[in-house]
Amino acid sequence: MTADLYCVMGNPVEHSKSPWIHARFAQLTGQDLRYVRKLVPLGGFAQAVQEFRAEGGRGCNVTVPFKFESTALATRLTPRARLAQASNTLRFDGAEVFADNTDGVGLVSDIARNAGVDLAGRDVLLIGAGGAAAGVLGPLIEARPRRVVVANRTQARAALLIGRHSALAAQHGVALAAPEIQEVHDDFDVVINATASSMAGAAVPVAAGVLKPGTLACDLMYGPAAQGFIDWAARHGAVARDGLGMLVEQAAEAFLVWRGVRPPSAQVLAELRATLA
Ligand code: NAP
């Protein structure tokens, strides 16, 4: 029997740590699978998925810039993928394409399990309104913070995003707001940078006044590009965190979707940090 085949599709994809993470998950859980990278040409996502399925692929992770297209291909969507309008995990069940978004639950797991912060009752600032922010807002709301303020360079996108989540927020008793980014003057218990500012080498797009001593400040970016945000947060008394924990936790959730087994993510995160140090 050949090992079950999975991949990550993206453009670029060379930098992806997913093959390493899933190979380690498979070793630790005794699962027989092979996980490869697929560089997909822009405009070629649907064809790449078709070819991968024809090759025997059982599922794939989807990264920039295809998370929206992967949702359009799905025949079945989880509620969190539907709310995000983006998916990072596909599973091929016969003729069916099942799509999920594990980014948000990955971030919330990293904050709760690895950073040890309970989001319930907290004030949260989510910076950004792109694919990553769309993926994390629903699971953030489900963690029942007191309020979530979504601030984005283009305010209209943040307004759309909170509009889509208003019923969920009401259900969980969470206040939502989307002010102009330069109008954010309060401080927060948790600040999440879900913009591409770090990737672009740009300044953090909010004033340092959003931080107070002990604020948990997370950038979804990891590696050297996250250092500017980490230094900014630490300089202002916050507890800084990069996106590596989210990366491993979203992968663990995808592994669960595919294999029905939850891998030991904290161990794999520690090993990955040691490998990258
Ligand atoms: P995206 O859909 O392209 O959205 C980009 C977002 O960043 C938008 O809100 C955009 O604002 C904002 N932005 C871009 N450049 C900016 C700048 N110079 N200053 C202020 N805001 C800026 O990208 P995405 O998929 O959301 O990804 C965002 C980040 O999350 C990336 O760094 C990605 O690597 C990271 N990520 C990490 C994980 C993980 O597992 N750790 C998972 C997913 C994503 P406008 O709306 O105004 O354009």
Question: Longest C-alpha distance within the chain, in Å?
Answer: 59
List pLDDT tens digits, range 195-210: 999 888 899 999 999 9
For ligand 1, whether the C-beta of 159 sits within 6 Å is: no
Q: 194 C-alpha to center of ligand 1: Å?
A: 5
Q: 221 C-alpha to center of ligand 1: Å?
A: 9
Residue in this structure with the two tokens 């989001």, named with its chain if needed: 119
Residues 246-273, mean pLDDT to the nearest whole number: 98
Residues 263-277, mean pLDDT to the nearest whole number: 96
Q: 103 C-alpha to center of ligand 1: Å?
A: 13
Own/partner long-range contacts of 92-96 (Cβ < 8 Å, ≥24 apart): 92/53, 92/57, 92/58, 92/59
Pocket test for ligand 1, best of 42, 68, 220, 247 (most atoms within 8 A of CB): 220
Sign (positive/negative) of CA torsion 241, 242, 243, 244? negative
- CB 168 within 8 Å of CB 143: no
For 241, the token pair is 């965190």
Does residue 125 carry a pLDDT above 70?
A: yes
For ligand 1, whether the C-beta of 131 sits within 6 Å is: yes
For ligand 1, whether the C-beta of 145 sits within 6 Å is: no
When comparing pLDDT for 79 and 277, which is higher?
79
Count of alpha carbons within 13 Å of 135, Cβ hemisphere only?
28
For ligand 1, whether the C-beta of 200 sits within 6 Å is: yes
Q: What is the model's pLDDT at position 167?
A: 97
How, if at all, do strands 96-100 and 89-93 pair? Answer: antiparallel
The closest of 66, 68, 77, 2 to 34, measured between CA atoms, is: 2
List pLDDT tens digits, range 156-185: 999 999 999 999 999 999 999 999 999 999
Q: 250 C-alpha to center of ligand 1: Å?
A: 17
Atom number, ligand 1, closest to the C-alpha of residue 202: 18
Three-state secondary-structure class, residue 246: helix
Q: How far is CA 267 from CA 33, 76, 105, 245, in A?
A: 20, 32, 18, 11
Which residue's CA is the nearest one to ligand 1's atom 4? 130
Q: 2 C-alpha to center of ligand 1: Å?
A: 38
List pLDDT tens digits, range 41-82: 999 999 999 999 999 999 999 999 999 999 999 999 999 999
Q: What is the model's pLDDT at position 252?
A: 98
Cβ burial, residue 44 (10 Å; 0-12/13-18/19+)? middle
List, in sequence order, the alpha helices (H) in the chain: 18-29, 45-54, 67-73, 79-84, 103-109, 131-142, 155-164, 166-172, 227-235, 244-259, 265-276
**Annotation marks residue 38 as catalytic:** no
Atom number, ligand 1, closest to the C-alpha of residue 106: 40
1 falls in which pLDDT band (50, 70, 90)?
A: low
Q: What is the model's pLDDT at position 200?
A: 87
